[in-house]
Structure 1
């Protein structure tokens, strides 16, 4: 409790460990809340939670609340899961896919994800998972980073085609991307401009954070 109170004055780091995928994982009390960070960016809670909440709001809280099956690719500390359940009131099934087993352990330890009955965490590579799953989803959230790097497969046509295939009618994909240089901006522009699928629409959400851009894909029917 003392550390939490002191965190309103300055951040208090309570755990640090090395990560195969993210260099370093840090758990810190900041302004009375626990946040999860990598060496160079916020992973859960903090600014990331605000970004994804904006994307969910853009899709529509009431629409999401009525859905049944959500897929989250990239779990980290699970802040978007808390947003879905506490802020939106989503009561359906959430499947979270996380490649880093150590991060999943920390998420359970500090953010109590293992206490959420409607959540299933699967330790797997996101690309491999979407190739294997036979489920269809009402909402797919793509939030995959390795520190400040995004794996190249996320922007390959085959991956985009596959996650579009996994959407139910009227479903949405919320894709969180990081833009650190002009090449990243061109990459996103290329994805949006070249996206041409019957029965789908794509758009970007005006940025609230300088280095993050949200892309939303919707399946019409």
Structure 2
């Protein structure tokens, strides 16, 4: 495809849509790859897929491959789901929760999210979903941004407690955060200190330029 080849020289935007949640969504050919971006950051594929792939590698592909149930809070274009299915060879059920219906339409049309097997997409607010769900999960991936901003509820006791309740023993949380200033660093340090001896917490700073990953294993 000519556009794909040309994108090795400069990015080529092929689709744009306004969004109440993400302001502006763009599908762009960039270095031969189709990516989904918001106004100021990559939403799926591109750098975001690299970040979450690293997080999954830290947990271990072989371990994840045998998980029965995975929850993805914040789907966007579905790149982490694609990684789980295509690269990790995960056969378990994947539930993706995304508040923005527009972004799921784009994910289906341009990235084939709707043809991936064993995936259920729920259009809902992540906070509301974790309150309602009765299921327990082996892996919970939290990747929620509104452009470059992270909703404050992600760092509040009630949400953290509820996510931990939904996690099976020996299960993992993979939490992608953005650190842009000293306040964000302090927020992440406070988040890390929240977990007691029943959890094994690892923090991976400077994954790409501004992202910091947490992997959290529930021990008991």
CA offset at residue 199 of structure 1? 2.0
| Structure 2 residue 34 is the aligned partner of structure 1 residue 34 | yes
Give the alignment of 1:34-183 within 5 angstroms.
Answer: 34-183=34-183
d(CA) in 2 for partners of 1:92 and 1:194? Answer: 30
The CA distance in 2 between the partners of 1:77 and 1:200, in whole Å, is: 30
CA drift of 1:168 comes to 1.1
Provide the residue aligned with 1:190 in structure 2: 190
CA distance in 2, matches of 1:76, 1:26: 12
1:203 match:
202
- TM-score (norm. length: structure 1): 0.97
Structure 1 portions without partners, runs of 5+: none
Q: Secondary structure at the match of 1:207?
A: strand
The whole-number CA distance in structure 1 between the counterparts of 2:39 and 2:81 is 23
Q: CA deviation at 1:5?
A: 1.4
Contact 2:85/2:91, CA 8 A, preserved across alignment: yes
Change beyond 3 A, Cα 1:173–1:133: same
Question: Could you give the per-residue CA deviations for residues 152-193 of structure 1, whole angstroms, max 9, x where no partner exists?
Answer: 000001111111110112100000000111111110011112
Residue 220 of structure 1 corresponds to 219
Stretch of structure 1 that moved more, 126-135 or 211-220 = 211-220
8 Å CA contact 2:62–2:88 kept in 1: the answer is: yes
Task: Write the distance in 1 (CA, Å) between the matches of 2:55 and 2:171.
Answer: 14
Unaligned ranges ≥5, structure 2: none
Equivalenced residue count is: 220
Counterpart Cα distance in 2 of 1:68 and 1:199: 22
Offset at residue 7 of structure 1 (A): 1.0
- The Cα shift of 1:220 comes to 1.5
State the Cα deviation string for residues 31-70 of structure 1 (Å, max 9, x = none): 1110000000000011111110111000011000011100
Aligned residues of 2:205 and 2:211 also touching (Cα < 8 A): no
Determine the C-alpha separation between the residues in 2 that align with 1:206 and 1:147. Answer: 20
Q: Deviations over 1:74-106 (max 9, x none)?
A: 000011011111111101110000000011101
CA distances 1:79-138 after superposition (whole Å, capped 9, x unpaired):
101111111110111000000001110100000111112111000000000000000000
Counterparts of 2:154 and 2:205 in 1: how far apart (Å)?
Answer: 21
Q: Distance in 1 between matches of 2:138 and 2:175?
A: 14
